[in-house]
Amino acid sequence: MKKIIKNGRIVTDSQVFKGDILIENGIIAAIGDTLSDPDAEIIDASEKYVLPGAVDVHTHMDLQAGKYRAVDDFYTGTVAAACGGTTSIVDHMAFGPKGCSLWHQVEEYHRLADGNAVVDYGFHGVIQHVTPSVLKEMEEISDNEGITSFKIYMTYDFMLKDDEIYQVLKKAKEAGIVIAVHCENDGVLNYLRKTYVEQGLTQPKYHPLSRPARCEAEAINRMLHLAAIAGGAPLYIVHLSSKEGLLEVQKAKASHQKHFAVETCTQYLTLTDSLYQDDQEGLKAIMSPPLRKEEDTQALWQALKDDVIDVVATDHCPFLFAGDKQAGAKNFTACPNGAPGVEERLRVLFSEGVMKGRITLPQMVKYLCTNPCRMYGLYPQKGTLLPGSDADIVILDPTKSRVLTHTDMHGACDYTCYEGWKVKGDIELVMLRGNVIVKDNHFLGEKGCGNYLKRQKSILV
Ligand code: URP
Ligand code: ZN
Ligand code: ZN
């Protein structure tokens, strides 16, 4: 069935223009001033914005984190994504059993996602130890599965040491693979956590104090140097949270270091560590890195305005407030880390970013849609509105508004960090490959309608 979206204000990462979009067989067939086709269903988008479906390249669906499991699986989490205008995700795998082959988690994640996801989905591999066979598997998995990026951690139980990181980076450079990194200085933050607990200082407000911004900055700085030592290995820094970390990024950009990209997340732009002052509310925002100060949010917005940051993702990783999060009520170190966000991202960015004049509409499209695809080998199939691209499309009405509340949301979590926020603009319709999967906040798709995405190489390689 053909469709024409008529009279919309079409938004790409570089411009906004009035026009029509013809969709045929799930693909954008043409974009023009006045398109017509007697066989096409007409969707009127007058006075509305027509955006590429958003792409979230940092989610943790069905994550097993120690003894806790994130509450959104690939079905509920991707229904939430779809209702928030996100039509593709690239999910970060959990660690597997100690010493496992990289294939273990690839197979596990296909079991979790295939037949469940309702938006298109890919995976980042995870490297939790380094051996010659792991290095070989990186290339095999990239070539055979289209998993062209792998995640490493500089903290947590399966963190890599610098010599291991160096070997991974060398391999990544050679094989054209992107290494996504969680950057925090493990030694210092664990010492601080232990010290707070020993003193009985265990409320949520000690969580940000135990993970100072300079722990992030030091690790980013080290990681950038390690990537350079490895000959310019393709690097992607996840969830930048602080102005100190940003400074390291700016220094590397000023020194013309290439082959790296930087992501921040909605929460680091819009929420602050003041949330931790309330013992119960603070639990909802226990995540790593922690929320920072107002001045950090301002620095990150400025970096988006100046094109210093490349991507805004979510790190969606929800645990029940009335359930597992309460493990942190007596001791913040016992709390599972992470918060929901996949459904909120586009609405919050449009309202807090575009409507408040902090970024332009094309910039929003660049950070939520186009750049994530460029960085992770999905462009131009995804993340843009071009003839030949998948017809993943969001129609957004800027005259509407919505009060965000978790009861109107679609994930399995029992809270949103944005409860009661009035956001300007609302999502009217979401299409995945030409099929309407969301209308007026109702999910209309079918379980399993998402396709697995075998990704190409990144522009960073
Ligand atoms: O607290 C967080 N962000 N949990 C998810 C895992 C990670 O570090 O990204
Ligand atoms: Zn992380
Ligand atoms: Zn994460």
If you measure from the C-alpha of residue 313 to the centroid of ligand 2, how many angstroms do you get, rounded to a whole number? 12
E strands, 96-142, in order: 120-126
- How many whole angstroms separate alpha carbon 256 and alpha carbon 456? 25
Decide if 448 is inside a domain.
no
**DSSP, res 355:** T
Model ipTM value: 0.97
Ligand 1, closest atom to CA 153? 8
If you measure from the C-alpha of residue 348 to the centroid of ligand 1, how many angstroms do you get, rounded to a whole number? 20
Q: Which ligand is nearest to the CA of 288?
A: 1
Q: Ligand 1: does its nearest atom lie under 6 Å from the Cβ of 155?
A: no
Does the structure show a pLDDT above 90 at 349? yes
* Cβ neighbour number for residue 294 with a 10 Å cutoff: 10
Q: Ligand 1: does its nearest atom lie under 6 Å from the Cβ of 316?
A: no
If you measure from the C-alpha of residue 37 to the centroid of ligand 2, how many angstroms do you get, rounded to a whole number? 48
Alpha carbons within 13 angstroms on the beta-carbon side of residue 1 total 8
Q: What is the pLDDT of residues 251-286, one digit of tens each?
A: 999 999 999 999 999 999 999 999 999 999 999 999
**Residue partners of 199: CB distance under 8 A and separation at least 6:** none
27 CB burial (10 A radius; 0-12, 13-18, 19+): middle
Q: Which ligand is nearest to the CA of 92?
A: 3
Range of 290's domain?
52-375
Q: Ligand 1: does its nearest atom lie under 6 Å from the Cβ of 263?
A: no
What are the phi and psi torsion angles at 10 (to 5°)? -80, 130
Q: What's 299's domain CATH number?
A: 3.20.20.140
What is the per-residue pLDDT for 396?
A: 98
Decide if 430 is inside a domain.
no
Q: Which residue do the tokens 């660049």 mark?
A: 366
Ligand 1, closest atom to CA 92? 9
E strands, 15-67, in order: 16-24, 27-32, 41-44, 49-52, 54-59, 64-65
Q: Ligand 1: does its nearest atom lie under 6 Å from the Cβ of 241?
A: no
Please tell me whether residue 44 adopts helix, strand or coil conformation.
strand
If you measure from the C-alpha of residue 58 to the centroid of ligand 2, how many angstroms do you get, rounded to a whole number? 9
- Nearest CA among 117, 137, 119, 118 for reference residue 127: 137
> Across residues 330-355, what is the average pLDDT?
98
Does the structure show a pLDDT above 90 at 87? yes
Count of structural domains within the chain = 1
Closest residue by Cα to atom 5, ligand 1, is 338
Decide if 166 is inside a domain.
yes
Decide if 71 is inside a domain.
yes
Ligand 1, closest atom to CA 287? 1
- Pocket test of ligand 1: the residue of 241, 266, 337 to mutate, having most ligand atoms within 8 Å of its CB, is 337
| Total number of residues shown for the chain | 461
What is the largest distance, in Å, between two alpha-carbon atoms of the chain? 74
What is the per-residue pLDDT for 337?
A: 98
Does the structure show a pLDDT above 90 at 238? yes
CA-to-CA separations, 211 to 171, 286, 361, in angstroms, rounded: 30, 11, 33
What are the phi and psi torsion angles at 111 (to 5°)? -60, -40
If you measure from the C-alpha of residue 240 to the centroid of ligand 3, how many angstroms do you get, rounded to a whole number? 11
Decide if 394 is inside a domain.
no
Q: Ligand 1: does its nearest atom lie under 6 Å from the Cβ of 338?
A: yes
CA-to-CA separations, 105 to 150, 153, 157, 169, 403, in angstroms, rounded: 12, 16, 17, 20, 38
Does the structure show a pLDDT above 90 at 24? yes
H or E stretch including 6? strand 3-11
Beta bridge partners of residue 49, listed in sequence order: 9, 396
Q: What is the pLDDT of residues 356-384, one digit of tens each?
A: 999 999 999 999 999 999 999 999 999 99
Contact yes or no for 10/16 (Cβ under 8 A)? yes
What is the per-residue pLDDT for 1?
A: 86
If you measure from the C-alpha of residue 427 to the centroid of ligand 2, how many angstroms do you get, rounded to a whole number? 29
Contact yes or no for 407/420 (Cβ under 8 A)? no
Q: What is the pLDDT of residues 277-328, one digit of tens each?
A: 999 999 999 999 999 999 999 999 999 999 999 999 999 999 999 999 999 9
What is the per-residue pLDDT for 68?
A: 98
**pTM for the full model?**
0.98
- How many whole angstroms separate alpha carbon 236 and alpha carbon 461? 11
Contact yes or no for 309/240 (Cβ under 8 A)? yes
What is the per-residue pLDDT for 66?
A: 93
What is the per-residue pLDDT for 96?
A: 97
pLDDT band at 117, cuts 50/70/90? very high
pLDDT band at 421, cuts 50/70/90? very high
The percent of residues in the chain predicted with pLDDT above 90, rounded, is 100
Decide if 456 is inside a domain.
no
> Across residues 194-198, what is the average pLDDT?
98
Q: Ligand 1: does its nearest atom lie under 6 Å from the Cβ of 325?
A: no
- How many whole angstroms separate alpha carbon 322 and alpha carbon 284? 10
If you measure from the C-alpha of residue 68 to the centroid of ligand 2, how many angstroms do you get, rounded to a whole number? 16
**Residue partners of 205: CB distance under 8 A and separation at least 6:** 276, 277, 279, 282
- Nearest CA among 385, 408, 461, 339 for reference residue 87: 385
- How many whole angstroms separate alpha carbon 458 and alpha carbon 278? 42
CA-to-CA separations, 395 to 19, 267, 415, in angstroms, rounded: 13, 24, 26
Ligand 1, closest atom to CA 60? 5
CA-to-CA separations, 164 to 159, 389, 460, in angstroms, rounded: 10, 38, 21
- How many whole angstroms separate alpha carbon 269 and alpha carbon 245? 14
Decide if 132 is inside a domain.
yes
Radius of gyration of the chain (CA): 21
Decide if 420 is inside a domain.
no
